[in-house]
Structures are given as C-alpha cells and as structure tokens.
Amino acid sequence: MDMRGATPYIVGMTDLSPREQMIRTALTLFKHNGYHATTWRNLVEEAGTPWGSAYHYFPGGKVQLGIEAVTMAGREVAAQIKHQFATAASPTAALHVFIEMFAVSLETSGYRAGCPVATVALETTPETPQMAEACAAAFALWEAAMAEGLQHFGRPPEEAKRLAVILLALYEGALVVSRVSRSTAPLMQCAAHMGALLSGPAYAVDEKLMQSCEK
C-alpha cells in the first residue's frame, strides 16, 4: 500500500505526488462543498491529474479517494493536536490554537470551509459504511489525542477521556453553528467555555446519568 498520502505533515502542494495532490484537493473540495456536490470530474480537474491516471491512483474512484482523504485528515489533525499539547503552556492554550485556526479558515473562505470530516460524515453515513468508518476513526483519533494531551497536563485518564468527548462535540458543534450563522462568535464563546471548563474545579459528572447511559 502506498503510504505517502498518510504523512502527518502538511507540505506545499507543489511538492506533492499526483496521488497526494488528489487527496489534498479532495479534502479542500469536501470542506467547501461537501461530498455529494463534489464530482469525480471536479476532483480530477482541480488536482490537475491527467485523466488517464486518476483511476490508476484510485481504482475505487471517488469513494476510495474520499476514504483516504478523511483518513489523512484524521491523522494530520491528531498529529497537530499532539504537537500543540506537547508545546503549549496550558491545555486551554493548546485548544485555542485550533479555535483560532478554524476562525481564520471560516473568515478567509467566506464561511465555506468547515470541518473536513463532519460534512462528509453526515452525508455518507447511511449509504457508505466504509466512509462512515473512516470518519468515525478520524473523530476517535482526535478525541484520543486530546485525552492524551490532557493527561500530559495531569488529568486522570478517565476524566481526560470524558473531557475529550465534550471538547470534540464543542469543536464540531461550534464549527457547524459558526459556519451556518456566518459569525465566529459561537466558536469564540465555545473557546471561552473550554477555558472555563479546564481551569475550573475537577470536572463534575452526573453519575446517575452516566450509569443510565452505560446500562
């Protein structure tokens, strides 16, 4: 299997192999227009891939390319989360880096560029189980990277895991609401909440509800 597409570091488009270029293009187009609205023709033309080669790189066509793109986004963002938690002064500072990144991405794209995984996930869940699995795996990697980062700052493992679930939901929800309402305010309010959540007293859990959900 060609693993070049799985490199966890973002590099300039000009340095990429045609195969990688198609994956990068797919990520960008899915982020902006979603999965269904992006055609194979769009992908091939935008990536500048010779028509004869596109199916050579991705014999499974758009579905295979989509799965590889989501898988790459999963790995790269997870690597970025790990890097931020390893170098930031506090967990809040690490989390806010991504809020800033999303805010800039929304603003500079005219509120077109959202999460590279969420749109594809919501669109393809029913009909393409393999794609849904790739999206779920990406979310799981991000959650695990945040949980690991929180442990690095001294949170007990169980608490870190629970917090990571909340943080992932806050990111995804804030991105949806900010994008749709064409305002970074929801993203910023969620950032403020993340700060309050992590700097406050030990995270209180409603044990009764947690038990009812685990039954």
Residue 131 beta carbon to its own copies: minimum distance, rounded to whole angstroms: 10
Rounded Cα distance between 92 and 88, Å, is: 9
CB of 44 to its own copies, least distance (A): 19
For its own copies, the closer of residues 2 and 133 by Cβ is: 133
Q: Which is nearer to its own copies, 64 or 107 (CB)?
A: 107
Q: Using CA atoms, how far apart are residues 89 and 46, in angstroms rounded to an integer?
A: 40
CB of 99 to its own copies, least distance (A): 9
Q: Which helix (H) or strand (E) holds 173?
A: helix 157-181
Tell me how far, at minimum, the Cβ of 17 lies from its own copies, in Å.
Answer: 28
Chain residues binding its own copies by CB under 8 A are: 32-34, 36-37, 96, 111-112, 114, 118-119, 121-123, 125-127, 132, 135-136, 139-140, 162, 165-166, 168-174, 176-177, 179-182, 184-186, 188-193, 195-196, 199-200, 203-206, 209-210, 212-213
For its own copies, which is the closer residue by CB, 17 or 199? 199
Helices 185-199 + 157-181 axis angle, to 10: 160
* Largest distance between two CA atoms of the chain: 59
CB of 184 closer than 8 Å to CB of 178: yes
DSSP string across 66-135: HHHHHHHHHHHHHHHHHHHHHHSSSHHHHHHHHHHHHHHHHHHTTS----TTHHHHHHHTTT-HHHHHHH
Locate 61 and state its tokens.
């066509």
Whichever of 15 and 206 has its CB closer to its own copies, that residue is 206
**Cβ nearer to its own copies, comparing 53 with 125:** 125
Give min distance, CB of 69 to its own copies, in A: 15
159: exposed, middle or buried (Cβ count in 10 Å: 0-12, 13-18, 19+): middle
Nearest approach, Cβ of residue 67 and its own copies (Å): 14
Q: How is residue 10 annotated by DSSP?
A: -
